[in-house]
Amino acid sequence: MHDANQPQSESGISRRRAITAGAALLTTGIAGCASSSGSDDTTSATGSSSEGASGDGPVVVASFFSFYDFARHVVDGTPIQVDNLVPTGLHGHGWEPNASVTKDIIEADAFLHVGPGFQPWADRAIQTVEDDGVDTQLINVREGVELVDLAATLDPDEEGVGAQQGKDPHFWLDPDRAKTSVDNITEGLVQLAPEHETTLRDNAATYKSDTLERIDQDYQAIFDAAERDVVQLAAHNAFQYIGVRYDVQMVPLVTNLAASGDVKPSDIAEAKDVIRKNDIKYIANGVFESRRPAEQLLAETQVEGYFPVTPYAGVREDWVANDWGYEEIAYNINMPTFEVVLGTKRPEEAGPDGWADEWMNFQ
């Protein structure tokens, strides 16, 4: 094993010798935080990418969709292959992998992860890599990112907070903070394939300036034009960085990190109060989360409909088919929803043609 800031070890054991031990580590599975239950061993991961990759270049695996997507833009035009470990249709913060994921990590040249405490299965796989001296490079995409505090009502001992007790890990929802993860990915990839340094750095600079900065500006325009500064989410506590970046109150139905649908009557009562006080007609619901709380609020309040949001934690099959990444999801899912729930646009005015018909109450 080596990390992105240290030279490669010459004494590490081979990946294949570590596979058996590593696989044993994850056979029991990890308790996750997604609304989907269990793992889908037959579902393939989102995919792999590098335009022009020959299949003979270094292989990089990612523990989370957003950073897989960032990496595939950075490696464009190089032989580096990037794979997303999380299967299509599953929430990346709660996926429960089987033992094969450790084999994939050990056999890869580098592993992109979100830092300690966010994905327990990734932490265990990293421990195997470190304990067995495997030479898979570990790239922590969260390194150096300034995290904000969690809501005061969050249980600090909840799984998913980890070493950063009391800090919100969902930093990538802020396009400005996301730039730091692109930098971390780039530095790791440059160490992995120094012969492609110029291409990697040029791609990263272009992605940050042409994509992340544009997303940031367009989000800002939406929130600047908003009629209100409160968004009611029928979702878990994953969107605080949007609120911090654009000065809007993101009110989650569940005030913890888990997308597990553990909604209490008091949560519903508080949401009803927010809806009434702020004259809210439309709310947001997580794409990969239960719709039952949103349906209850639709039936019991003045709410006329709910629309999709996602913390870029996973992808649907149609998104994969259309090659959607962070950028496309921002423009086709999150931005239109924020325009509607903030009163900037009517549902029929938001998004591409037919967007409201497709997504209102997730038709």
Residue type for 68, please? Y
Say if CB 61 and CB 35 are below 8 A apart.
no
Phi and psi, residue 281, nearest 5°: -100, -30
Pick the CATH number of 217-362 from 2.102.10.10, 3.40.50.1980, 3.40.50.300, 3.90.420.10: 3.40.50.1980
In this predicted structure, what is the pLDDT of residue 94?
58
Higher pLDDT, 304 or 13: 304
pTM of the model: 0.83
In this predicted structure, what is the pLDDT of residue 257?
61
In this predicted structure, what is the pLDDT of residue 151?
59
Mean pLDDT of 114-137: 92
Tokens at residue 7, please?
Answer: 């030279």
User: For residue range 45-68, what is the model confidence (pLDDT) as tens digits?
Assistant: 445 555 545 568 999 999 999 999
In this predicted structure, what is the pLDDT of residue 154?
45
* Residue 10 banded pLDDT, cuts 50, 70, 90: very low
Whether the predicted pLDDT of 34 surpasses 70: no
Could you say which architecture CATH assigns to the domain 2-214? 3-Layer(aba) Sandwich (3.40)
* Residue 281 banded pLDDT, cuts 50, 70, 90: very high
User: For residue range 198-254, what is the model confidence (pLDDT) as tens digits?
Assistant: 999 999 999 999 999 999 999 999 999 998 999 999 988 889 999 999 999 999 987
Smallest CA-to-CA distance from 257 within 86, 46, 92 is with: 92
CA distance 261 to 293: 8
* CATH 3.40.50.1980 domain position(s) in the chain: 2-214, 217-362
User: For residue range 286-297, what is the model confidence (pLDDT) as tens digits?
Assistant: 998 889 999 999
Mean pLDDT of 58-85: 97
**Portion of the chain with pLDDT greater than 70, in percent:** 76
Mean pLDDT of 272-300: 95
Cα–Cα separations (whole angstroms), residue 207 to 33, 134, 194, 319, 325: 30, 32, 19, 20, 12
Mean pLDDT of 28-50: 38
The SS3 assignment for 49 reads strand
Whether the predicted pLDDT of 137 surpasses 70: yes
Tokens at residue 306, please?
Answer: 């709910």
Those residues with Cβ within 8 angstroms of residue 19's Cβ, 6 or more apart along the chain or in another chain: 102, 103, 106, 107
